[in-house]
Structure 1
Amino acid sequence: MTTTLQQLLDALTDRATAPAASVAIEDITGALAHLGRALTGLTDDGLTPADTSRQRTATELGAACVTAGRLWPRTGGPLTDLAGAAADLVGRDRPVLGRAHRWAVTVELAEVADHSAGLASRLLPQAAVAEMSAVRQLATAVERDALADPPTAASFVVLDRLVPPPDPPHRDAAPSALDASAALVATLDRIQRDGDNLSLRDFRAAVAAAEIASRCAATVAAAATGDDVGPLLVTGLAWQLAGRTSTAFHDGHRAGTADPRGVVAWAQALAGALRAEVAPRTDISALRDRSDLPSTADRVRQVTAQLPALGDRLAAAVERWSRTGRLVVSARDLQPVENMSADRIDAVIAGRHVMARGADLGQLRRVVDRAADLSTGLAGALHRALTDPMQRHQVDRHTRGVQTPGLTERLLDRSQATEHAITAIRSPRHVAREAPPSR
């Protein structure tokens, strides 16, 4: 089952706030220790440019959670497992989180810590309540700050980034759009982690899938809000431009049978699943009348939340090409540069192909970066169209309780597998490109 950080935190909150919660105190303190670990990592990276009350309060909350987590020995349990998987997800995404993203995650972690400490206070003897009271007071301060200055919808997108199961479904199993999008990003992660060059065929397949996902998201957002779809289509056009810009380059690979678990296969699976649910050219009024619009829109929203991460991987691939000189291009197709070498001038005159390095890939890098940034904005727009981000966790829990009983148990069953998946798809640390809401 594909999992997100938001789902893990919601499942943890569900268990901590259940009317008749039956849980050991060691399980609660174990969960608080993991929440403290996640908060400490976020505050170490920084929530604000300078030392502020927000930064200090969140730092103190992380320390308070760690202190509370030491009150009892670690014995494991449902809460500990869910919190541990959530903390590992936060750690996995730290290299690509901007300040706005870190603030959004901190707010969600603070709420979960508040509920967990509240449950512990009902179980602990009076002598040990002080540590839990400190957690609750600091968590309340963070939540109060969030009410005055709430995270943006775009920054909440990071909570919906998908983590595929350790063994993704086979291509022949007709995976869902969620599974396919998670597997696509994970496959790009694997290629980057192994130090391999992404082929142009894979690059173009991923870009095409991003274009289709963007167009579907624009259609769904327009249907859900009643707004004009025109401005929302800009993201799809940006991905289309990225694909067209890449056609000037060649890498010498001949098209062959695609790897059934490779980028091309997962991109095709994602495109097929999205087309089956909502064709990019679907009449918006007809879509608005569909009874399954809310559930369809929520699935499309989660897929759209993966596009910024996909854009980061594709931008990293272009950066690697610029260093390795893996691609060739007609010298006449390159943009003119100052102080062009004599060899390059001769190549332009003769119409020869040259290795593309450095600035030769600047235009492709810019259009990919632009498409990734626009994807962040589109994901935020779709997020706002569906729910108020500050109340989303409450809506999600209500929806799960009505429509999908047992989801918490299924998430718990997969929490250990999720930790293995995180290890398997962990990408190397790199200098992240700050998304617009993080600046």
Structure 2
Amino acid sequence: MATTLQQLLDGLTERATEPQPSATIEDVTGGLAHLGRALTGLAHDGLTPGNSMRQRAAAELAAACTTAGRLWPPTGGPLTDLAGTAADLVGRDRDIMGRSHRWAVTVELAEVADHCARLGRRLLPQAAAPELATVRESAVAVERIAQTEPPTAIGAVMLDRLVPMPGDPLAAAQLTVLDASGALAAAIDRAQESSELTLRDFRAAVAAAEITSRSAATVTAAATGNDAGPLLVTGLAWQLAGRASTVFDDGRRTRSTDPHGVVPWALTFVGYLRAQVAFNTDIGALRDRDDLAAVAGRMQQVTSQLPVLADQLTAAVDRWSRTGQLYASARDLPPMDNMPDDRVAAVIAGRHVQARGADLDRLRQVVGRAAELSTGLADALNRATAAGPPAQRHQARLYAQATRTPDAPERLLDHAQAVHRDITTIRSPHQVAREVPPSR
């Protein structure tokens, strides 16, 4: 079952604060040992450029948790298992975390460590294990700093990142659409890390985003009673991103046989989306459903991952622009100021050239446009399901923040109008027309 780091920490907090605790002291210290492991890695990677109060407080809390974790031999238990899984997720995502992400995760870990240490004090005589008191003092120090230097909404999104549980998701007794969504994101990350993300992978992920956007627009319109037309622009934006990518070629003719690659998981995700969530695209039929609120809630969970997927695809375009792994007909690339002689010759001859830097600006632009519209769509669906708490509360807060800035309505409107212009000026299935006539 796909989960998030926040869900694991919430479960750990719930068990540590039970009125009638069932945990043993060995389980408590085992959990603290794993929290110390996670905090040590975050502090090592750095929360600030220098030796700030934030940095020192995190390092002291990591040391306090590690020390308390050695008080009793580990015997396992719910607290130990939850904390261990959470620490594993933190460790796995360290490579993609920035300082703001690390600070947001550190603050959440500090709160959980405080609860665990408090439970440990309840299980022991008053004067026993002063190391637990040290954990509480160090956790409070982190929480005080967080009051004046709170984590940013963007940093806290790392806590809501959907990840598949260890093992083969396909072997799970009951695979859900969230499992497939998390597995797709993980597959893209693996391909990015090994520089093996292909254009075929990219287009499969874009197609999954397009289908998700169209389904989300329909469900949102049914849940709110509003017209679906404006919301469908997001799906069109993703469609344009796919078409813009057809200008390029990565030279790879063989198809990957990896059953856990991006393409298989994109197909699996779309299949489960249609089977478990978007099984009816008729707005009238959706409005007649007794379980529309539940359908909207499931759709909200899936849609909240769209901007995360958009960030991954934007990173892929940025990597290609640096590495020059893509090729395109020189005639299909954007015009250049002071075009070099060899590029002029390639344009005249209609040859393919290596695409770098500004050659991918158009693709980057349309993916970015789809990303911002996806943020607006996610916020609209979050508000449509406001009766209950959002499944990814940090992401919901970020989307609300992004769509309530003074220029957000104008920016989203500009994107929608740009998508409409692109749709009406496409000259062929393989070429997205430029908005202004090229001049060479």
**TM-score range, shorter-chain basis?**
0.7 to 0.9
Aligned pairs for 1:17-416 within 5 A: 17-47=17-47, 56-140=56-140, 142-143=142-143, 151=151, 155-165=155-165, 166-169=167-170, 175-196=175-196, 198-218=197-217, 220=219, 235-253=234-252, 260-276=259-275, 277-278=277-278, 282-283=282-283, 287=286, 290-322=289-321, 325-369=324-368, 371-372=370-371, 375=374, 386=386
Summarize the Cα distance change of 1:389–1:121 in structure 2 as closer, same or farther, 3 Å threshold. farther
Change (3 A) 1:392 1:326: closer
For residues 233-259 of structure 1, what are the alpha-carbon distances to aligned partners after superposition, in whole Å with 9 as ceiling and x for unaligned? Answer: 665444333212101112355697976
> What SS does the corresponding residue of 1:189 show, helix, strand or coil?
helix
Q: CA deviation at 1:187?
A: 2.3
Deviations, residues 189-237 of structure 1 (Å, cap 9, x unaligned): 33334443x3322211111112222344455566667788777666544
Q: CA RMSD in A?
A: 4.0
Deviation at 1:57, TM superposition (A): 4.3
Larger deviation, residues 24-33 vs 235-244 = 235-244
Distance in structure 1 (CA, Å) of the matches to 2:297 and 2:391: 16
Q: Measure how far apart 1:344 and its partner are.
A: 1.1
Distance, in Å, in 2 between the alignment partners of 1:111 and 1:16 is: 11
Please say if residues 301 and 392 of structure 2, whose CA atoms lie closer than 8 Å, have aligned partners that are also in contact. no
Residue aligned with 1:2, SS? coil
TM-score (normalised: structure 2): 0.73
Say which is worse superposed, 305-314 or 140-149, in terms of deviation. Answer: 140-149
**Measured at CA, do residues 73 and 231 of structure 1 come closer, stay the same or move farther in structure 2, by a change above 3 Å?**
farther
Identify if the C-alpha distance between structure 1 residues 11 and 366 changes in structure 2 by more than 3 Å, giving closer, same or farther: same
User: Matched residues in 2 for 1:182 and 1:48: separation?
Assistant: 29
Instruction: Give the drift of 1:295.
Output: 3.9
Unaligned runs of 5+ in 2: 395-440
Read off the aligned partner of 1:84 and give its amino acid letter. G
SS at match of 2:36: helix
CA distance, structure 2, for counterparts of residue 340 and residue 98 of structure 1:
37
Please name the residue that 1:409 is paired with: none
Could you list the per-position Cα deviations for residues 159-179 of structure 1 after superposition, in whole angstroms to 9, with x for gaps in the alignment? 2322224112179x9943212
Displacement, 1:314?
3.0
Distance (whole Å) between structure 2 residues aligned to residue 381 and residue 279 of structure 1: 20
Q: CA deviation at 1:320?
A: 4.5
What is the Cα deviation at residue 86 of structure 1?
A: 0.3
State the alpha-carbon separation in 2 of the partners of residues 130 and 341 from structure 1. Answer: 71
User: Which stretch shows the higher mean deviation, 156-165 or 309-318?
Assistant: 309-318
SS of the aligned residue for 1:126 comes to: coil
- Post-superposition offset of 1:156: 4.0
How far off is 1:31 after superposition? 1.0
Q: Which has the higher contact order (CA 8 A, sep 6+)?
A: 1
Which of structures 1 and 2 has the bigger CA Rg? 2
Contact 1:175 1:269 in 2 (8 A): no
Residue 128 of structure 1 aligns to a residue whose secondary structure is: coil
Cα shift at 1:51? 6.6
Distance of aligned partners of 1:300 and 1:250 in 2 relative to their CA distance in 1, 3 Å threshold: same
**Equivalent pair of 2:300/2:381 in contact (CA under 8 Å):** yes
TM-score (structure 1 length as normaliser): 0.73
Q: Which amino acid aligns with 1:267?
A: A
| 1:178 to 1:138, Cα distance in 2 relative to 1, 3 A | same
